[in-house]
C-alpha cells in the first residue's frame, strides 16, 4: 500500500474531492429478506437536476441513427445506428427489470476525445438494448469497442432479477495515426480496457468513486472469459469477463510489469492515493460497517492515514437486507465513528453534519480538507432498485426514487418496469436546476432540505417523523399493491399496467404535497431561530387565541467551550 499520508491532498486528491461524486450499493438476492436483487445509486452533482428519465419502447427502421450526448455537458459526440427495437426505460430501470447505476473513479489520464460513447450514455444504451444484466453488459462493452470511449474511468452496477454484476472500465487514451489510403486520421487506441465480475449470491458490494476490482481469475474456460469469447457470456457458469488486452495494454503503457498472475485492475489503472481512500473508499467502508462486524480491520486503509489491509470487493452481511436499509445507509455521515461529522467544531451549534464547498482548503501554507460522506447536500437524486424474479416484469420491478439530499428524502415506489409514463412532478419537462417550478418534486424536497440545514438538530426530528411515516406507509402498501396487480395481470395485463401507473403517479403526487406541507410547517416552527410550541403538528395558542411564547434550546457546551477559547473574556459578563 502507498504511503498515503505523504500523498495527502495532492492534485489528484483535490480532483477526487471536487468532481467525483456517487455512491452505489449492490445486494444479491441471497442477502435480502425477500429474495430480490437490490442495487442503489446516488446522483451527486452540483449541476444535476432530479427527474425521472423516460425512454419509450420503440421499433426503428433500417438506417435510423441515434445521437449520443455527453451526460456531463450535453455536447453531441456523434451518432450510432439504432437496433431494430429499443426497450422502455424509466429512471435507470427498463421494462425487463434490468437496472444500471454508476460512480466515476477517474483513474489514469486515458481520455479519448474521438470517442462517441460517454460514461452516461453507455448506461442508457445498455438499458435500451438489454433484456438481462449479461445482455446489457455485452452491449455496453461492444459499443465502446466499436465507437470509442469518451470519458474517464467508471464503475457500473448492472443487475436484473437473477444476477448482480460490477463492471469497471477505462479508456485507452489517444494514439493518433493516419490511414495511408484514405489519409484520414484515427485513434489506434480506440476502445477501453475493463473487467466485469458477478457478485456471488449472498454477498454485498459497493463502489464510491474509486475502482474496486483488484485481481481476478483469467480465462479458464470454466467461469472466466476474455472479450475474444464474449458470446460465451450467456453461459450461466461464467462469472468473470474482461477485455482481452487489459493486461497487455497496461504493459505497453508502462503501468504494469509481471506475468499477469498478480495483475490488479484497480492498482494498475487507478492507483490509490489519500483522496481515493478518504473521500471514496471510506464511503464503501461505512456501508460495509453497517452490515458486517469485522470492518475495523480496514479502518486504516479506508481513512488513508496508515498502511492496512485492503477491503475486499464484496463481503457477507450479518443480516438480510431490505430496500429501506439501503435508503438509511444513504444517510450516513460517519455517525458512530471518530469522524462523525456532527461532533466537531465545523458542525456549529446545531450539529450540522455537512460542510459547504470547497472540500479542500489552505491556511497558513498548510492544506486541509472536509470529510466526504455518503450523504451530501449536492445529491440530485438517489434510488434503490428492487428486482423480483418471482413476479412478472411489470409487477416485479420497483424503482424507489428520492430527490435531493438522500438524508432528507423519501423514496417513492415507482413500478418502473410496468409504468406507461412518468408523473409530471418528476418529469424532464418540469423545471431544471436553473428554473424553479412550483409543481416539481425536486424543488419541494430542496425547500425542506434548506430549512433542515439552518437548524439541523431541531428540524431533523420533524423531518425524520414525516419520513418514517411515509416509508412505513409505502412498505405496508407494497404487498397489497403487488397482490392487486397480480390479480389484474392474470385477467388483463394492460389493466395491471394501468393500475401500477396510477398507483405510482398518486404516490408521487401525494408525497410532493406532504413535503410541501412539511416545508410550511418547518418555516413556521423555526422562524427567526425560535421554536414555536406545537403538539402533533398543530401550533399552540393561549386561551385567548394568541400564539404561545416560543421555547429555545441552550447552546451545547462543546460550542460554548470553543467560542470561549477563541474569544477569551470578550463576552464575559462583568462582576464575575
pLDDT tens, position by position, 96-126:
999 999 999 999 999 899 999 999 999 999 9
State which H helix or E strand residue 54 sits in: strand 54-55
For residue 195, pLDDT over 50 is answered with yes
Strand partners, 385: 39, 399
State residue 20's pLDDT score.
52
Work out the mean pLDDT of the chain and round it to a whole number.
Answer: 94
Q: Measure CA 516 to chain center.
A: 25
| Other CB atoms within 10 A of residue 11 CB | 8
Radius of gyration of the chain, Cα coordinates, nearest whole angstrom: 25
Average pLDDT of the residues in 414-426:
97
Residue 525's CB is within 10 A of a number of other CB atoms, namely: 20
Give the integer Cα–Cα distance in Å for 151 and 123.
13
pLDDT at residue 258 in the model: 94
Give me the residue label for grid cell 486503509: 301
| Of residues 188, 246, 196, 250, the one with CA closest to residue 223 | 196
For position 1, what pLDDT does the model report? Answer: 42
Q: What is the DSSP string of 172-200?
A: ----EEE-TTT--EEETT-SEEEEEEEPP
Q: What share of the chain is helix, strand, coil (3-state, %, to 5)?
A: 35, 20, 45
* Whole-number Å distance between alpha carbons of 475 and 133: 27
pLDDT given for residue 221 in this prediction: 62
pLDDT in tens, 10-20: 333 434 444 45
Q: Percentage of residues in the chain with pLDDT exceeding 70?
A: 96
The answer to whether the beta carbons of residues 430 and 439 sit under 8 Å apart is yes
pLDDT tens digits for range 235-277: 999 999 999 999 999 999 999 999 999 999 999 999 999 999 9
pLDDT higher than 50, residue 191 = yes
pLDDT in tens, 127-174: 999 999 999 999 999 999 999 999 999 999 999 999 999 999 999 999
| pLDDT-based confidence at residue 428 (cuts at 50, 70, 90) | very high
Average pLDDT over residues 384-405: 98
Q: What does pTM read for this prediction?
A: 0.94
The grid coordinates listed for 95 are: 421494462
Task: Give residue 8's pLDDT.
Answer: 39
Query: Is there a cis peptide before residue 239, judged by omega within 30 degrees of 0?
Result: no
Among positive and negative, which fits the CA dihedral 109, 110, 114, 116? negative
DSSP bridge partners of 72: none
**CA–CA separation, 317 vs 329, rounded Å?**
14
Q: Domain ranges in the chain?
A: 23-330, 443-529
> Residue 285: which region, alpha, beta or left (left: phi > 0; alpha: psi -120 to 50)?
alpha
Q: Residue 503, SS3? A: helix
By the 8 A CB rule, do 51 and 430 touch?
yes
* pLDDT surpasses 80 at 313: yes
Amino acid at each position: 500500500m502507498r504511503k498515503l499520508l505523504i500523498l495527502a491532498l495532492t492534485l489528484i486528491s483535490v480532483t477526487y474531492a471536487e468532481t467525483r461524486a456517487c455512491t452505489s450499493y449492490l445486494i444479491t438476492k441471497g442477502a435480502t429478506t425477500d429474495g430480490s436483487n437490490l442495487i442503489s445509486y446516488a446522483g451527486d452533482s452540483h449541476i444535476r437536476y432530479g427527474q425521472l428519465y423516460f425512454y419509450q419502447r420503440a421499433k426503428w427502421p433500417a438506417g435510423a441513427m441515434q445521437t449520443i450526448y455527453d451526460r456531463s455537458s450535453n455536447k453531441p459526440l456523434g451518432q450510432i445506428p439504432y437496433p431494430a427495437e429499443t426497450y422502455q426505460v424509466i429512471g435507470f430501470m427498463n421494462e425487463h427489470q434490468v437496472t444500471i447505476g454508476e460512480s466515476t473513479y477517474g483513474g489514469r489520464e486515458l481520455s479519448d476525445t474521438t470517442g462517441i460513447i460517454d460514461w452516461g450514455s453507455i448506461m442508457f444504451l445498455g438499458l435500451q438494448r438489454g433484456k438481462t444484466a449479461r445482455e446489457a453488459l455485452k452491449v455496453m462493452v461492444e459499443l465502446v469497442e466499436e465507437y470509442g470511449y469518451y470519458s474517464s474511468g467508471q464503475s457500473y452496477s448492472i443487475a436484473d432479477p437473477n444476477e448482480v454484476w460490477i463492471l469497471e472500465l477505462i479508456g485507452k487514451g489517444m494514439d493518433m495515426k493516419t490511414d495511408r489510403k484514405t489519409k484520414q486520421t484515427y485513434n489506434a487506441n480506440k476502445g477501453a480496457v475493463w473487467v466485469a465480475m458477478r457478485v456471488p449470491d449472498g454477498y454485498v458490494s459497493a463502489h464510491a468513486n474509486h475502482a474496486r476490482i483488484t485481481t481476478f481469475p483469467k480465462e479458464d474456460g470454466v467461469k472466466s472469459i476474455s472479450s475474444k469469447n464474449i458470446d460465451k457470456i450467456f453461459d450461466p457458469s461464467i462469472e468473470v469477463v474482461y477485455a482481452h488486452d487489459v493486461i497487455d495494454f497496461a504493459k505497453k503503457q508502462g503501468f504494469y510489469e509481471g506475468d499477469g498472475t498478480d495483475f490488479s485492475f484497480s492498482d494498475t489503472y487507478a492507483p490509490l492515493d489519500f483522496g481515493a481512500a478518504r473521500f471514496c473508499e471510506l464511503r464503501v467502508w461505512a456501508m460495509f460497517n453497517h452490515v458486517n462486524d469485522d470492518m475495523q480491520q480496514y479502518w486504516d486503509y479506508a481513512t488513508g492515514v496508515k498502511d492496512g489491509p485492503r477491503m475486499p470487493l464484496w463481503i457477507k452481511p450479518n443480516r438480510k437486507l431490505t430496500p429501506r436499509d439501503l435508503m438509511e445507509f444513504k444517510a450516513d455521515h460517519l455517525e458512530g465513528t471518530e469522524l462523525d461529522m456532527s461532533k466537531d467544531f465545523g458542525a456549529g451549534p446545531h450539529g450540522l453534519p455537512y460542510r459547504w464547498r470547497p472540500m479542500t482548503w489552505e491556511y497558513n501554507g498548510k492544506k486541509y480538507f472536509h470529510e466526504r460522506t455518503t450523504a451530501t447536500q449536492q445529491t440530485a437524486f438517489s434510488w434503490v432498485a428492487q428486482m423480483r424474479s418471482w413476479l412478472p416484469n411489470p409487477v416485479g420491478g420497483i424503482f424507489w426514487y428520492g430527490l435531493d439530499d438522500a438524508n432528507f428524502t423519501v423514496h417513492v415506489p415507482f413500478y418502473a418496469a410496468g409504468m406507461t409514463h412518468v408523473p409530471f412532478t418528476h418529469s424532464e419537462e418540469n423545471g431544471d436546476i436553473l428554473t424553479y417550478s412550483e409543481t416539481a418534486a425536486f424543488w419541494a424536497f430542496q425547500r425542506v432540505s434548506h430549512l433542515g440545514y439552518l437548524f439541523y438538530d431541531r428540524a431533523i426530528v420533524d423531518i425524520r417523523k414525516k419520513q418514517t411515516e411515509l416509508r412505513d406507509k409505502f412498505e405496508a402498501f407494497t404487498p397489497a399493491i403487488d397482490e392487486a396487480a397480480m390479480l389484474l395481470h392474470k385477467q388483463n395485463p394492460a389493466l395491471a399496467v394501468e393500475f401500477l401507473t396510477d398507483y405510482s403517479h398518486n404516490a408521487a403526487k401525494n408525497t410532493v404535497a406532504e413535503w410541501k406541507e412539511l416545508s410550511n410547517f418547518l418555516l413556521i416552527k423555526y422562524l427567526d431561530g425560535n421554536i414555536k410550541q406545537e403538539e402533533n403538528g398543530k401550533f399552540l395558542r393561549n386561551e385567548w387565541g394568541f400564539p404561545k411564547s416560543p421555547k429555545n434550546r441552550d447552546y451545547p457546551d462543546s460550542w460554548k467551550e470553543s467560542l470561549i477559547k477563541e474569544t477569551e473574556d470578550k463576552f464575559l459578563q462583568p462582576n464575575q
